[in-house]
Each structure stands twice: as C-alpha cells, then as structure tokens.
A and B are shown apart, each in its own frame.
Chain A
Amino acid sequence: MVENRPIFTFFAHLTLILGVIIVVFPIYVAFIASTQGSSSFLSGVVPMLPAGHMIENYRTILDSGFAASAPVWRMLVNSFVMALGITVGKIAISIISAFAIVYFRFPFRTLAFWVIFVTLMLPVEVRILPTYSVAAGLNLLNSYAGLILPVIASATATFLFRQFFMTIPDELLEAAMLDNAGPLKFFKDIVLPLSRTNIAALFVILFIYGWNQYLWPLVITTNQNMTTVVVGIQQMVNSADSDPRWQLVMGTSILALLPPVLVVIFFQRWFIKGLTEPEK
C-alpha cells in the first residue's frame, strides 16, 4: 500500500471478501447438502447449516454408489489412475523429445518440432469422432490405456522444457563432453536435476488437467466400472431430478473436487509459477 486511505482500503477488502464469498459459496452449499438426510430435499429450500448424516451419506456413496452407477470408490480409483497416467506420461515423453530437439542436430528436426506444435492447436473436442474411431480400431475402449494414451501427446509440456533447456548454459554441455559424458549420462546427471522445479510445476498443472478430463472418458468408456468420477456425476444429476437424493450427488461432487483443490492449495507456489512463467 503506497498511501493511507482507510475508506478505500475498507472498500478494497469488502470487494475481496465479496469475491471470496462468491467463489466459496457453491462449494459450501454442496458440502452442507451432502450432510443432510434424504427428507431435507422433499420440501422447500436447501438448509444452510450442516446436519448429522455426513458419515452415513459418504459411506453409501463410496461403498455402493447409486442411480445404477459403479461405487464411487471405484470411480475415484479410475480418476487417480487416469490423472497420474496422463501426468507422468506427458512429462516423460515431452522431456525426452524436448531434449532431442534441443541437444541434437538431425535431419527432419524442424519437421518433428512442427508436427508436435500442430497438436497444440487441436483440442479433443473438435476431432472427437475420428479420434474415437481410431481408438476403437486399436481396441482401446474401456481400458486405462484408452483413457490415458490419446491424451498424453501435447505440445505444451514439450515447449516448456524446450524453453527451459535453451536457458541451460552451453558451458555445462561442453564440460560434460570434455569429461566424455554421453548424451544419456548428460541427461541423467545434469538436465534432469536442473529441471526439478519445472517438473514439479508441470506435475501440479497436468494432474488437475488429467483429473478434470470429461469428454474423452465419456466417449471411451461404456463400462460402468471404468467411468471416472467427474463423468459419473452427470448420470447422478440426471437421475436426481426424478429421485431427489441430492445429498448423495453433492457428496460425490465434494469427493470429486477435493483432490485437485487440495493439490492447488498445497502446491500453490509451484502451480502459479508453472502457469505464469512459460507465458513470459
């Protein structure tokens, strides 16, 4: 603060508090709803204070699920496997391809770079049907490989690593070469340790990206046991109109948003660095 203006400062805090309320309110209401008994939704408006059915509701959700869905623990496991698979896969294949593009000179290097660049342009939403038929042809329906593989090629991570590798001083490479270190040794002993913070930042962003996938899991899984939790909720919402068990729908929503929200809160510093830095 550069000057002392109590009224303006008060107004600023007021605006921020209002913003926080708008942000937190939907999550708060969802949590409150998840602690209600089933009769709370039959009449009138949702209560604003918690009731005592929390443990019972979450047990029902996790153990047996509802509305003909798989139990939610199963969906959470699927979501974890998918999110981690996408995160690790993306980081692994893009760090090695960025390494090759920066530290080698080979025919078609520029072409390879541009082919990877093109992927940045085409979100799965716009080429959904052909991608689906390719995946179906490769027998990837209802499998973890099908959930993960088509999503892990993305140019963003490759770009980030390439940009970072360009800032590693050339002297390090020359020193390594004088010591007779080959490319793989140089990668393992120098590049990888130097990239640690970048990998951490990407890990947070990609985990959230992977966890929140929607359209792809929706079309690639037809078997209830392979659904992810974010997709599973949709069926529950649809059934909740006729059979108002909102306490279970909202409980599942809370379970579905908790892992990525916790990741963002605990790794806030890395996450913000990872988001804003490549843009600079």
Chain B
Amino acid sequence: MQTKRVTFRGSWLAYLLVLPQLAITAIFFLWPAGEALYQSVLQEDAFGLSTNFVGLANFKALFNDPNYLNSFGVTVIFSVSTTVLAMVTALVLAAMADYVMRGATGYKTLLIMPYAVAPALAGVLWWFLFNPSIGVIAYVLHRMGIPWNHLVNGNQALILIIIAASWKQVSYNFIFFLAGMQAIPRSLIEAAAIDGSGPVKRFRTIIFPLLAPTTFFLLVVNIVYSFFETFSVVHATTEGGPGDATEILVYKVWHDAFISLDLGGSAAQSVVLMVIVIALTFVQFRFIERRVEY
C-alpha cells in the first residue's frame, strides 16, 4: 500500500483515530457476517429448543427449493431489464445533452432529480400512476385496449417495478455518461466533423468506444443496484406479489427471516448474496485498479 515519504510517530494516537471506524465495522459488519455464516450451517428444530449442525444441508435445500429458484429467475430478469433500460435511456439523453450544449444545464438540473428520490418513493409514485382504478397511465392503457391490473397480473407487476427502479437509476447513469462525454477532447469531435462524419457516426465511432470504461463501471454499479438496493421498491409496492411474481432475492431474505422466521434458510440466502456482492465488488475493483495504472 502507498505511503507518505514522511509520517508522524506515536502509534497510540493512530490507533485512537482508527478505533471508532474499526469498532463499528467489527460490531455491525464482521460480527453479523460471521453470524450469518454460522447460522447457515445450523438448523433449529420445530420448537426452537435445540439447534443442530447440519453442514451444507441448508444450501442444498435452498437450491432444491423451487421458490428460491423462481426468485433467482425473477431477480435475473428484473436486474437485466432494469440495467438495460436505465443505461440505454441515460446514454441517449446524455448524448443529446452533450450535443446540444445550449440549455444543457437546464435539462441536467431536471434530469438528475430522481437521484434524490428514495427507491421506495419511486415505487409509490409509479404505483399510483399505474393504479388500476384511478391511475392515469392505467387509464390510457385501458383506452388503448390493454387492460392493466398489476394486482392480479404478475408480468405487469414485474414491468411496474422495473420501470420504477430504472426511472430512479437513469439520473445516476446520466451524470456519469455526460461527465465521460465531456472529458473527450473537443478537437477529436471537430476533426471528425471536418472530415464529414455526422453526429450519429461520430457517436458510433468515437464517443461510444471512448466511453467504454464508464459504460463498464456503470454496468457493474447498475447490477449491484438492481440486485441489492431495490428491496424498498418491492416492499413499498407489490410486496413480492401477485403470488411470487416479483419476489426478488433481497426481498425473500427479509421475508424468510422476519415473516416466515426460517433462520437457517435466510442465513444461507445471506451467504449466497454475500458471495455475489463480493464477486461483483472484486470485478469492479480490479477494473478501477487497471484504469488507474494507465
């Protein structure tokens, strides 16, 4: 790890300074994570009187459980759709904002607003717009001959939470794409324009390839977001339903722990999720490190 050429002496002060951070990390992160690992290999009997060591049985049960596999599938569909929708929309908007320049600040101010809106609220706002009896969008869809009722139709409920989750994430992606585009030297764009390539061709052959690092970074961030930070979108609106059509993994972990009180199963799910997060973080950091070395 990098260090300063000169440093202070007196390590007791240094310990004192890192102590608060380390204490909180140990109490609220390491201990619970250890607890989850430990719980995941135990099983309580039906009366909660004794617990037995069961090895990997909880994990085996998990991956044989059709409900869990269904939840995995829902999460993948949800995650991929949210990421694609949020990134493509943001990329188009950023490219346009980068192109017009005039009025770009005004557009930017409005487009970054949803970043500040809590995912739960994003869910509630769209839930209201699509409300089968009074929602505006549901009304328009109905007029167009598409009966909308996310309370009974699982696919429609899934579409609803995908829209709400990506609506919120467009802002974040937009900020990064625009910053990335504005970092591209103007002379490159102008040279290409003088050579006669239009805005679309310039985007395809210059801007988009140069944005590759930003795109990759956002890809990881968006997947992490849609996997782990969307609990509230589901909890505030569909509550996993109808049936289990919108039961994403983070919702199931919470539901199995706090509603069904299946401790071992929930702990095993936590461990699976931790492995996914660690893998994604690893990818992300490898990539950032590589870029710093350029």
Contact = CB atoms under 8 A, between A and B. Distances in A.
Interface of A: 1-3, 5, 8-9, 12-13, 15-16, 19-20, 22-27, 29-30, 33, 41, 44-46, 48, 93-94, 96-97, 99-107, 109-110, 112-113, 115-116, 118-123, 125-131, 133-135, 138, 149-150, 152-153, 158, 166, 170, 173-174, 177, 182-184, 186, 208, 211-212, 214-215, 218-219, 230-231, 233-234, 237, 244, 246, 249-250, 253, 256-257, 260-261, 263-265, 268, 272, 275-276, 279
Contacts of B63: none
Nearest to B95: A12
B77 interface: no
B270 interface: yes
Contact of B263 (A112, A123, A129, A219): A129
Nearest to A104: B14
Contacts of B100: 1, 9, 12-13, 16
Which secondary structure characterizes the binding site on chain A? helix
B113 A100 contact: no
Which secondary structure characterizes the binding site on chain B? helix
B17 interface: yes
Interface stretch (B51-59, B67-75, B152-160, B225-233): B225-233
B116 A264 contact: yes
Contacts of B89: 19
B166 to A, nearest CB: 11
Contacts of A261: 113, 116-117
Nearest to A261: B116
Nearest to A138: B27
Given A103-B7, A134-B31, A253-B124, A23 B111 contact: yes
Contacts of B139: 44-45
B6 A170 contact: yes
Given A23-B114, A128-B253, A106 B14 contact: yes
Nearest to B237: A237
A59 B127 CA distance: 24
Given A46-B134, A100-B13, A121-B281, 13 more contacts: A27-B113, A29-B129, A45-B135, A100-B18, A104-B11, A105-B11, A118-B25, A130-B32, A130-B36, A134-B27, A153-B28, A166-B2, A268-B109
A116 B22 contact: yes
Given A15-B96, A94-B21, A129-B263, A214 B120 contact: yes
A253 B125 contact: yes
A108 B282 CA distance: 23
Contacts of A29: 125, 128-129, 136
B243 interface: no
Contacts of B124: 233-234, 237, 249, 253
